Each structure stands twice: as structure tokens, then as C-alpha cells.
Structure 1
Amino acid sequence: MKLVMISKELQKKSYYQYFNNPELEEISDQEIKQLIGKPQEAEGLSFKKRSILQNQDFEDEPSGYYLLEDGGILFSCTTEVPNLTGDMMDWWFLWHQFDALRYALWNPEDHKGIRIIPENLKRFTNEKLPYNQRLWGTNSYPFESMNGEDGGEEIEIKFVNPETVGYDNSKIGSTACQSIVVAPGLQEQNGYQVPIFMTETLRQGPQGGNVWVARWWLGCGVAEDGSDVIIDLPNREKIAQKAAILVVHSRKEMQHLNKILPKLYSDYHEGALNHD
């Protein structure tokens, strides 16, 4: 495994001790084939029904990708994270954005850089707001690869207030929705900008331990008037096969975060977010 490069300056940070320690667990070829070798045959969660992700009676579907009846594509990944809590996740989504090393701790093979803009810094450090609300209305600019390949790309992630795009904020903090992160955006497909909608939640799984539920709907979004937009994508099986590595990426980084975050949170959450 080829790890991302960490500058000598960042290696002086106290949390450098957590870089690939414990080691990142690779996803086997067999598991990759199970996850994204072909479309899942079960019915995937439609974009219009996304709010049930917050419900106690939500029934998970197998991780993988789905060609939905309405024309969109669903990428689904649920990962067991019994060591994580909602408070940890709310803190982490802010803390990891302050420098490239913090971001690399999450996935030392693929997370190659991140930049923070002044507007975000001001909101992230606003102690009048709870951690989860500090994320709303901010943009993240990570540079990453998907599964160990050379190079990568910078992407823009726009985090929003969940209730503005179809969720119920009164359910945040319940066992079924201990933490939630929502980010609608655009992705280039064959020269066109196509809507993509991300929702990730921490909830109690059917066996009692916590799970990280990540869903991305490609070809789906929310218009300015609040209505749902769903595009019947052409050549969507080809598009889905190309983009499905996202499921593998999510599985890898959430398994690793389950190992490293409890100690990181214990060591650093009581200090200022921008403190080394």
C-alpha cells in the first residue's frame, strides 16, 4: 500500500502518531466484487423516500449500487462502527478539515489534501453553535483518490441544513439518527453537470451496535423551490459501474475511522478545534 505524503512540518503535529496507526485495512478483491461487481437486484431506496433514513423502522438494503426505477442511481454503503458516537462524528466533520494530516488520518492511502477557506474557519470556531450546526452552510475542498490510484482530484462538498432538503431536524440525536451530514452537489458525467445528493448518518444497527449509513443518489437533487429533481440518466449502467468505487472508498474510510476516532476524540475534543 502506498501512503499519502505528509510534509515534515505536519509530521511535527502531536496527532501524527495516529497516521496509519493502526494500519489501514485494505478491501479485498473479493469484497470489492461483492460490493460493486454488478447492480444489486434488490430494490434500492428511492430519493423521494430518503427521509426514512432517520426512522427507527428503516430497513437497510445490501451495500452496492442500484439502478432505480425512477431513472436515478443509488450508491449504498452501510458499515459497522460500534466504537463511534454521534458526538464524535459531529466533532470529526469539523476537526479533520483544518489540515492535510488530519484528513489523511481518515484514509492514509487516498486522502491527499484539504483546504479550508476563511468563511469556514470563522463558522467552525463559533462556540455559540453546536458542532453539527457549524457545518451547515460551509464548503469542503478535499483532494483525494478513490482506492489507491495515483493522482486524484479536488472536489467541492457543500454541507446544508438537513431540514432544508427533506429531513427532520427534530430527529437528530435519536438512536436512529445520532448524527447526520447532508451535501447536495453536481458531478460531471460525459461533459454534463449532473446532480448528486449525499446523506450520511450514524444510527443504531439491527444488532444493537452503531452503523454508518452512507447514501448517494446520482441524477437526483433538490431545486431552489424545495422540490425534488430526478433525471432519467442515459447509459446509466455504464455511469454506475464507473462511479461505484465510491462504495469501496466509503467502506475503507469508515472501517478505519472506527479504529482511530475514539482515541483521537478523547485526546483532542476538549481543546479548540484549531489547536495542534
Structure 2
Amino acid sequence: MWDWWFGWHSTDSARYKLWYPDAHQFSAVGEDRSADRTLTDRQRYLDNVSYVDEYVGGTLQRLAIRFTDPTRLGFEAPAPGNTVVCARVGLSRYPVAQGWLIHQVRPTGHGSEMRSRFFLGDAHMLDLPAHSVPGRGAPLMTGTAFRKLDDAALPHLTAKVMGSTFGYDLAFHCAAEMNHLAAFLPDLHQEFNGTP
């Protein structure tokens, strides 16, 4: 169900807003794979980029979330009923990654449990294919232009963009959106599973 959600919601801003109506503003996916019924739910979002605009704290963040297979980060393949969602998170207008997100979901006797971790301040160039960036008024600053920056400048840039309360604001945002999603995801999944 969680893998279905991560493959389903990014193709439409209205779907993304269901998750956290007060904070989520925009969503687009680098490669829309929703119509390919030969793919699993995980294959729809793995190695894909989700572009989202969302308020974290009082600041609008324009993010690029590049999902990756958790086994590349050393996780074992999830057991049935479990999933691990991993992604490199950066800015959508600049190819700079700010950190990592990891959501681990496992069944419990009362439903499921999600554990989320964010690793921030690990600044690197983010591989964002220019053709996958949705047109949003501002051009993507290319990796070539950014490579002119010294590697030492990247942490300062991301610290400035994130601000001093970003970690706290992100923890609050995650708790709010995941609790809200958990309240309606089972019914939504039952109704829309199998539709692009």
C-alpha cells in the first residue's frame, strides 16, 4: 500500500495535496510511469524524480526527490508486508542534494508502523536529467554551471537554503503528513489501486 502511494500520488498535484492540504502545493514526476501496467508499484517511483513544492515550517521549499533502491544503501530486500522508501532530497531548480530520507514501514499487531529518518547537510550534486524537470517558469541551473562552485561552497549554500530551524520544521511536517495520510490511505488504496 505504501509503495503504491509513492508511485501514485506524484503524477498529480491534487493527489499530492490530499497528503497534507495545508502544506503541499505542487507535484510532478520526472517520468510518468503510471500507465505502464507491467510495472510494480515500486518500479513506478524507484529511480524516478518527484518534484514537489511544499511548506516546511513557514518556508516554501521547491524540492527534487530522487528515489533509489534501498539495497543500494545497504538495506536488505524488504520482507513481505514491509517496505523501505529511500531518496536523495535536493532542490528542484538547482542540482544540489541536501540530504537523504528513509521511511521504513513494517506490519504490527495493530496495522503498521513507519519509522522515518532524515540525514541533512550532506551536500552533493544531484543527478537531475534536464528533460525530466517540469516547466515551472525558472530554468534548471545545469550541473555544468554548478560544478564551477567549489565543493566547499555546497554545504554553505544548503545551510542557507534550509535555515536554522529546518530540521525541527521537517520533523513536524513529516509527523503531520504521515499521520494524516495513515487516516485515509487504506480506503484510498482499496478504491484506486490498479488505476493510473
1:212 counterpart (107, 114, 120)? 114
Q: What secondary structure sits across from 1:129 in the alignment?
A: coil
Counterpart for residue 46 of structure 2: 136
Task: Give the distance between the partners of 1:104 and 1:213, measured in 2 at CA.
Answer: 22
Counterpart for residue 26 of structure 2: 113
Task: Give the distance between the partners of 1:160 and 1:100, measured in 2 at CA.
Answer: 22
For residues 108-136 of structure 1, what are the alpha-carbon distances to aligned partners after superposition, in whole Å with 9 as ceiling and x for unaligned?
Answer: 1000111233xx11x34332221112211
Task: Give the distance between the partners of 1:167 and 1:221, measured in 2 at CA.
Answer: 22
Task: Give the distance between the partners of 1:266 and 1:161, measured in 2 at CA.
Answer: 25
- Over the aligned positions, Cα root-mean-square deviation in angstroms equals 2.8
Counterpart for residue 88 of structure 2: 184
Larger Rg: 1
Q: Which has the higher strand share?
A: 2
Name stretches of at least 5 consecutive residues in structure 2 with no aligned partner.
126-154
Q: How many angstroms does 1:142 deviate by?
A: 0.7
Give percent identity, aligned residues only: 26
1:146 partner letter = V
Counterpart for residue 7 of structure 1: none
Q: TM-score, normalised by structure 1?
A: 0.51
1:125 counterpart (35, 49, 71)? 35
Task: Give the distance between the partners of 1:179 and 1:263, measured in 2 at CA.
Answer: 19
Q: How many angstroms does 1:185 deviate by?
A: 3.7
Q: What secondary structure sits across from 2:113 in the alignment?
A: strand
Q: What secondary structure sits across from 1:142 in the alignment?
A: strand
- Tell me if structure 2 keeps the 8 A contact 1:183–1:197: yes
1:196 partner letter = G
Count, aligned residues = 159
Q: TM-score, normalised by structure 2?
A: 0.70
- Tell me if structure 2 keeps the 8 A contact 1:141–1:155: yes
Counterpart for residue 251 of structure 1: 175
Counterpart for residue 173 of structure 1: 79
Task: Give the distance between the partners of 1:194 and 1:93, measured in 2 at CA.
Answer: 20
Task: Give the distance between the partners of 1:104 and 1:239, measured in 2 at CA.
Answer: 24
Larger RCO, structure (CA 8 Å, separation 6 or more): 1
Task: Give the distance between the partners of 2:29 and 2:61, measured in 1 at CA.
Answer: 16
